[in-house]
Structures are given as C-alpha cells and as structure tokens.
Amino acid sequence: DGGITQSPKYLFRKEGQNVTLSCEQNLNHDAMYWYRQDPGQGLRLIYYSQIVNDFQKGDIAEGYSVSREKKESFPLTVTSAQKNPTAFYLCASSTPLGEAQHEQYFGPGTRLTVT
Amino acid sequence: DAKTTQPPSMDCAEGRAANLPCNHSTISGNEYVYWYRQIHSQGPQYIIHGLKNNETNEMASLIITEDRKSSTLILPHATLRDTAVYYCIVRVAMGNRDDKIIFGKGTRLHILP
C-alpha cells in the first residue's frame, strides 16, 4: 500500500539530547513537509522540501534540522537548542501544484515527550 | 501566517448538513482553496479543493464565492464520525521552490447526537 510512515509513534527523550524523527513515503512525491502541533493548536510549518537535496525553513525552524538525501525520506532532527520540543510532529508529502493530484498526504504523526 | 479565517468552533446535529465557512479575502488568482480535517491525535486528511468553481466529491461539497474571497465546506449529512477539526487553507505558489502550505487553527466541529 502507498502512504507515509512515521516512526516511532511515541518517543521519549531526556532534555539536552538530540532526537531524529523518521518520515518515509512511497508515493513518489517530490515535496515533503514537517509540521509541529501543540495541544489545541493548529499545525505550524517547520521545514519543507520541494526536491531532493533542497529544503526551506518554515515558520518555526529554530532548533530543528532536516536532510533530503533521498526522494522517499525526510528525517527531522530535534536538537537540544529547541526550547520546547514536546509536541506532536506530523510529516506530509505532495506532488507539485501543477499536477492533477496535489493534495497533501499526512503520516500518522510522532508524539515526542522531552523531560 | 495563515491566509484564512475560520470560526474556532461549531455545532451541528447528526443527520443535518454541516456548513463550515472560511474567509480568504487576500487570495491570489492562482491560489487554490483546500480543506482538510483532523480527527483527534491523527494526521490531517484531505477532503476537497477548488479554484473557482464549486466542487463535489464523495465526502463533501465546496462552494466558492464568485469573488473567491470566501468559501463554505458542506458535509451533507453529518455523522458522529465527522467530529474533527476542519482546516481551510490556500496554496501559496505554483509548485516552485517556495511552495509551502500554511495551516491556521481550523474549526472544531462537534456533531451532536
């Protein structure tokens, strides 16, 4: 089945540790996105990438880093510089707007808790 | 910042049509209107999108005003499973390097039995 996978579903870390969240898609989508969601809030864009080896900062990129070495993968690293890392992290992918099917597909999310 | 404005919450009786409004008064001519919904603790799910014309699919209908400054998502016969947060967004670019998709806070729809 085609789709987006995020792992793990729940992740616990100690403060001061870097942690990498996985996002893989087999939809052959060029674009991939990372969002953060806090309780009762909407989604805020962290980073996005339209093509392999290229990515852009979103609205809240500070304390995060990404890589896009393969089309299928867009891992997000939450660094120790991120002041409030505890949140629900969502990965999404889409085709470019000019193509027929250009809605975003979302993964199931990773809930990160840092103590 | 999100380019859309939605009411924070709405109620609808089960079996009735749920009409969710969205204002996007600064929308550009090449921007699409998209609707997604998010059930608690899951990833958002695509519902429908449109540019100028009204659209309908198996999930919902999308009515876009002639001036494109607002739209309404219609769930024709709401069920309890439609309880979710509904996001209206506009897509800001035509698939170039700066293409990004911004979500606002959405509308929390409660379907009442």
Tell me which of B21 and B31 has the higher pLDDT: B21
Write out pLDDT tens, residues A59-96. 899 999 999 999 999 999 999 889 899 999 999 998 76
Chain centroid to Cα A64, Å, comes to 10
Give the pLDDT confidence score for residue A2 in this predicted structure: 66
B96 CB neighbours in chain A (<8 A) are 50
Task: Tell me what percent of the residues of chain A surpass a pLDDT of 90.
Answer: 70
Q: What secondary structure, in 3-state letters, does chain A show?
A: CCCEEEECCEEEECCCCCEEEEEEECCCCCEEEEEEECCCCCEEEEEEEEECCEEEECCCCCCEEECCCECCECCEEECCCCCCCCEEEEEEEECCCCCCCCCCEECCCEEEEEC
A69 at the B interface (CB within 8 A)?
Answer: no
Write out pLDDT tens, residues B36-94. 999 988 899 999 999 888 999 999 999 999 999 999 999 999 999 999 999 999 875 45
pLDDT at A50 over 90: no
Give the pLDDT confidence score for residue B112 in this predicted structure: 95
> In this complex, which of A56, A88, A98 lies closest to B95 when CB atoms are compared?
A98
Give the pLDDT confidence score for residue A103 in this predicted structure: 77
From B36's Cα to the closest Cα of chain A, the distance in A is 9
CB contact under 8 A, A50 and B94: no
A109 at the B interface (CB within 8 A)?
Answer: yes
